[in-house]
Structure 1
Amino acid sequence: MMKAVTLVLCIFLTCVQAAQIKQIEGRIIGGEVANAGQFPFAASIYKRTSDGTFFCTGTILYSQWIITAGQCVDGALLFTIRVGSNKLNSDDPNALTLATDTYFLHPDYDPTTLSNDIGLIKLRMRLSYNDYIFSVSLLAGSELPDAAPIVTFGWGQTSDETAGLVDDLNYVDLVTLSNEECTLAFGNQVNENMVCVAGNNNQGICRGDLGSPLIQYSGYLTYHVGVASFISSNGCESTDPSGFTRTWPYARWIINTTYYN
């Protein structure tokens, strides 16, 4: 019998129910602290809305663009974005903090089902690249296969008992699952544009990691292949997989949006 598990989504520090899926915050479970410059494309995002301020993670896609989850841009009035540092709040001479109010939410984004959960933020200025600030090499160039080794990172919680964001960027090695396996955990709300990932025991994302990327390596190249979208209501430390939006189905929308805007 298919296990009925509600998808959970906690944007920042609040959980809001949306039909069978809830908005979540995510964290990295079972990960390691990243070295300085290991992920120069990592971006922390504070989104201000009429309801408060919420946290997400994003990825430098191009010198003036950040890619993240649709939930992380929906309803935004202002973004405060920090790049160049693995530290979320601590002083770091390599850190650069920027503000912008320009974003693009996928036109078919559905906050109830989390279909098409992908968004783009445009910075007011182009970033100057260095050892600590650099874009991901490429968007996914093809469909993401099952059992593919990938990496994700974030500043989210590191256990269900320890609430709040962490100051150090954490990362974890995971593998992709088939959509049949993903459906066993999350039911028929899982569609072909979503992908589940899992690691040893309970490794994965948690509250605070919403918008975090799936990164696939090919030699020195880094491919952006997914965006963190949902976790299980059984908790971050359960053995249920973590849910992401695949990047490849949205490549044309991403390219057109960033080219014409």
Structure 2
Amino acid sequence: MKISAVVSVGLLLAVSQPSTQKHIAPRIVGGSDARAGQFPYAAAIYITKPDSTTFCGGVLLSNLWVLTAANCIQGATMTRVQLGSTQLSGIDPNRLVVASDNLVFHPLFDPETLDYNLGLIMFRMAIILDDYIKPTSFFPITDLPGSAPVTALGWGQINDEVAGVHNDLQYVQVATLTNEECKLVYGSVITDDMVCVSGNYNEGICRGDNGSPLIQNVGGGHTLIVAIASFVSTNGCESTDPSGYTRVFPNKEWISNVTGIR
């Protein structure tokens, strides 16, 4: 199925802001191609809505659940979740596609401010896990500090000039900012459940990366899901403005209560 649109978290935030503040809109920019099996929890999500089909990322939490951004699946009538492959097209024996219309939204999700921008997709039956389809259900036990090294993933645009999703899963190393630092760019729209990240130059997420995970490697082969991609600056994906995410730590109780994952 062709992508007629990619989710752009733009929705120019309908909140009162001074004119000096930058608007929020939804890049992997400056990234590298992922190897097969490198991120076995990465999910590509095709979302069917009454008037369009859009694209987002997500992260596999278990053999039944995928975590993504709420505004990705808002208004959806059906989702198709691709797992197991780093490529969106081409022959790949490891690829699995699962359809589901069982969607759960964070009860405090605000589509105007993008506060609590988290949603869950439940499969109709448990999928079979293997080396290429494997959940990462390790949640952080503390909140993210500033300057923490993290990894952003996604199939979104790789620059502002070429529209549409990228066929190959991309990843890039970035670092977290404190919310005070992020507010210097975006102002008061940044809340405690959000976190911003920045690269050495302009690395970050782009349109189509919305819903994709921000991960942190903590050693011992363990990976933490620390946040879900939510927005970038309307100045463009290649600007040096930070990328915005929804934190998992303040919301892990809700995730656990819905999914039963501890």
Give me the TM-score of the superposition, normalised by structure 1: 0.91
1:80 positional shift: 0.6
Residues 18 and 146 (structure 1), Cα distance of their counterparts in 2 relative to 1, 3 Å cut: closer
For 2:13 and 2:194, the matched residues in 1 are separated by: 18
Residue of structure 1 equivalent to 2:187 = 187
Q: CA RMSD in A?
A: 1.7
Residue of structure 1 equivalent to 2:202 = 202
1:252 positional shift: 0.6
Point out the more displaced range, 72-81 or 225-234.
Answer: 72-81
Residues 11 and 167 (structure 1), Cα distance of their counterparts in 2 relative to 1, 3 Å cut: closer
Matches within 5 A, 1:23-34: 24=26, 27-34=27-34
Which has the larger strand fraction? 1
Give the secondary structure class of the aligned counterpart of 2:44: strand
8 Å contact kept, 1:72–1:211 = yes
8 Å contact kept, 1:152–1:171 = yes
Residues 192 and 18 (structure 1), Cα distance of their counterparts in 2 relative to 1, 3 Å cut: closer
Residue of structure 1 equivalent to 2:7 = 12
1:140 positional shift: 1.8
Give the residue type in structure 1 aligned to 2:94.
N
Give the residue type in structure 2 aligned to 1:160.
D
Give the residue type in structure 2 aligned to 1:19.
A
Residue of structure 2 equivalent to 1:216 = 216
1:139 positional shift: 1.5
Residue of structure 2 equivalent to 1:37 = 37
Residue of structure 2 equivalent to 1:169 = 169
- Structure 1 runs (4+) greater than 6 angstroms displaced: none
1:196 positional shift: 0.3
Residue of structure 2 equivalent to 1:5 = none
Residues 85 and 41 (structure 1), Cα distance of their counterparts in 2 relative to 1, 3 Å cut: same
Residues 134 and 14 (structure 1), Cα distance of their counterparts in 2 relative to 1, 3 Å cut: closer
For 1:210 and 1:191, the matched residues in 2 are separated by: 18
Gaps of 5+ in 2: 16-22
Residue of structure 1 equivalent to 2:230 = 229
1:16 positional shift: 4.3
Residue of structure 1 equivalent to 2:248 = 247
Matches within 5 A, 1:153-164: 153-164=153-164
Residues 113 and 15 (structure 1), Cα distance of their counterparts in 2 relative to 1, 3 Å cut: closer
Residue of structure 2 equivalent to 1:6 = none
1:82-139 deviation per Cα after TM superposition (whole angstroms, max 9, x unaligned) = 0000001222110001101001001111011000100110011212111100001401
Gaps of 5+ in 1: 1-9
Matches within 5 A, 1:56-67: 56-67=56-67
Give me the TM-score of the superposition, normalised by structure 2: 0.91
For 1:230 and 1:192, the matched residues in 2 are separated by: 15
Aligned residues: 249
1:13 positional shift: 6.7
Give the residue type in structure 2 aligned to 1:212.
S
Give the residue type in structure 2 aligned to 1:83.
L
1:216-239 deviation per Cα after TM superposition (whole angstroms, max 9, x unaligned) = 111110100000001001111111
State percent identity of aligned pairs: 47
8 Å contact kept, 1:147–1:176 = yes
Residue of structure 1 equivalent to 2:100 = 100
For 2:81 and 2:231, the matched residues in 1 are separated by: 22
1:259 positional shift: 2.3
